[in-house]
Structure 1
Amino acid sequence: MNDADPRAAAADEAGGAELRLLDHLIELRARLLRAVVGLLIVFLALLPFAADIFALLAGPLLGKLPDSGKLTAYDPAGGFFVPVKLAFFTALFVTVPWLLYQAWAFVAPGLYKREKRLALPLLGSAVTLFYAGCAFAYFLVLPAVFGFLVKFTPSVVAMTPDIGKYLDFVLVIFLAFGASFELPVALVILVLLGWVTPQQLREARGYAVVGIFVIAAVITPPDVVSQLMLAIPMCLLYELGILASRWITPRSAPSESAPE
């Protein structure tokens, strides 16, 4: 009888672990379903306005083309599929807070109190900085880049960009600037993980500036304007990351022994 008790306890523990795993999988499926449904609803709502959204996106280029030029669709179906593709990425862009909320709602129950206090401001800052980077690219970088390119295009060359290539180009610019503006959040996370200290970040400032200009040269179009317009904000954001890491480090405390 005594020999059976440990086996029964082990069986009960294994059964409980399986039930907990099943509950987690059900919760994960529910969160993924809600995220996808939210994305699809926004996409379907934006679909009738796909052409208007593309016209808005093409504004920075069309405003620089001579004689109010237009874009070209070399693919016969490009005039339909490219705006639809843009509507999907716009829906993804709009629903980022909703998607992150679903991810947060899934992982939050397993976090310590201190981790929750730090995660929410970091998530909010990351979303805000990504949107700020995309806005900076749309309102400042794209007009400057297209103005530079049009100015140095020979007068005998007619600029009629393909809408598909234009969309891919703009999406890459948005992604590059949105991701680059996450630099302060990345530095704060590195400090919180204990991989670097604010003092080390300050001492590495010179190397960071060189690395930033190299990265800007790699991920931006081959023109000086876009490189400078990415490198200079990143240098300022590096300084902001140092200040944020210094502010948050004294508030670090030993994590609790168990989640809430």
Structure 2
Amino acid sequence: MPLRAHLLELRKRLVLASIGVVLGAVLAWIFYDPVFEAIQQPLEAAGSTRDGLVSLNFAGVAAPFDMRVKITIFLGVILSSPWWLYQLWAFITPGLTRRERGYAFGFLGAAVPLFLGGALLAWYVLPHAVQLLIEFTPSGATNLVDAQTYLGFVMRVMLVFGLAFLLPVVMVALNFAGLGTAATWRKGWRWAVMIAFTFSAIMTPTPDAITMIAVAIPICLLYAGALVICTVHDRRVDRRRVAAGLPRLDGTFPDDAEPAAT
């Protein structure tokens, strides 16, 4: 596909994904109050253990409205995740066969639970992170947390965790599209483990190692699962290529096969 066609396809997928997010945000508008209470709860719980005041602060007349808009857009991203994840798959794999495009349902069936699972794990970690950070407030001092800053922190943590859990699905999608082999992922497993634990250490700023390990282990297991799927797929591709007289994906020929005549 030429570059111009790729750019047009990218624009199309971005527009469709944006429409889905907007529709999800419109639906999420009516759930603002309970969602805001849930987002504020970790901060209130942290403040209840201290003598000083800990509370959200809206700095400006329009700040509450701005907060509502941002929360509804954030919820729109969560609610419309099946739709924009499908757009991501459709953009990454435009050249697959009809049979392989049928894997889109499998992609969505794995990507949506993984994204939501990562977001839920972040929600579990969030109160511990907030509690730890609030503990740095000097005794007797007041900590008026800017509402916009706090919301940005919550959204970043949840989205980063959700996207981190999508890594295995992206690996499989790239493999099916012929842009990455199982051998490539296998060679980088040490880097993957190191990045997983580094990510967990940064995103779980708690003093105990158990929380960090509890976050890193699922990411490593997902990487291993994706590697198994890529390996099985590459073996099938190799069998088809050998039957057609072509080299394997690594450029080698089987002992009982000769290179195809040119």
TM-score (norm 2): 0.68
How far the C-alpha of 1:254 sits from its partner, in A, is 5.4
Count residues with an aligned counterpart. 226
Indicate how the Cα distance of structure 1 residues 45 and 208 shifts in structure 2: closer, same or farther if over 3 A, else same.
closer
Which letter maps to 2:131? G
How far the C-alpha of 1:208 sits from its partner, in A, is 2.3
The structure whose Rg is larger is: 1
| Per-residue CA distance 1:148-203 (angstroms, 9 max, x = gap) | 223444323333311111110011101210111012113323433263325x5445
Residue identity (%): 31
> Contact conserved, 1:42 with 1:95, CA < 8 A, in 2?
yes
How far the C-alpha of 1:108 sits from its partner, in A, is 9.3
Which letter maps to 1:116? R
Aligned position for 2:29: 47
How far the C-alpha of 1:66 sits from its partner, in A, is 1.8
How far the C-alpha of 1:82 sits from its partner, in A, is 0.4
Aligned position for 1:156: 140
Aligned position for 1:211: 195
Indicate how the Cα distance of structure 1 residues 158 and 207 shifts in structure 2: closer, same or farther if over 3 A, else same.
same
Is structure 2 residue 231 aligned with structure 1 residue 246?
yes
Aligned position for 1:182: 166
Give the gaps of 5 or more residues in structure 1.
1-20, 256-260
Which letter maps to 1:241? A
Aligned position for 2:111: 126
Indicate how the Cα distance of structure 1 residues 125 and 55 shifts in structure 2: closer, same or farther if over 3 A, else same.
same
> Contact conserved, 1:126 with 1:185, CA < 8 A, in 2?
yes
Aligned position for 1:15: none
SS in 2 for 1:156: coil
Aligned position for 1:233: 218
Indicate how the Cα distance of structure 1 residues 152 and 100 shifts in structure 2: closer, same or farther if over 3 A, else same.
closer
> Contact conserved, 1:187 with 1:241, CA < 8 A, in 2?
yes
TM-score (norm 1): 0.68
SS in 1 for 2:103: helix
Aligned position for 2:41: 59
Is structure 2 residue 79 aligned with structure 1 residue 94?
yes
SS in 2 for 1:160: strand
- With 117-126 and 140-149 compared, the bigger mean Cα shift is at 117-126
How far the C-alpha of 1:88 sits from its partner, in A, is 1.9
Indicate how the Cα distance of structure 1 residues 157 and 227 shifts in structure 2: closer, same or farther if over 3 A, else same.
farther
Higher relative contact order (CA 8 A, sep 6+): 1
- With 203-212 and 89-98 compared, the bigger mean Cα shift is at 203-212
Query: Could you say which structure has the higher helix fraction?
Result: 1
Indicate how the Cα distance of structure 1 residues 78 and 215 shifts in structure 2: closer, same or farther if over 3 A, else same.
same
Give the gaps of 5 or more residues in structure 2.
242-262
1:190 and 1:173 map into 2 onto residues whose CA distance is 26
Indicate how the Cα distance of structure 1 residues 243 and 152 shifts in structure 2: closer, same or farther if over 3 A, else same.
farther
1:110 and 1:203 map into 2 onto residues whose CA distance is 26
Indicate how the Cα distance of structure 1 residues 64 and 236 shifts in structure 2: closer, same or farther if over 3 A, else same.
farther
Aligned position for 2:252: none
Aligned position for 1:71: 56
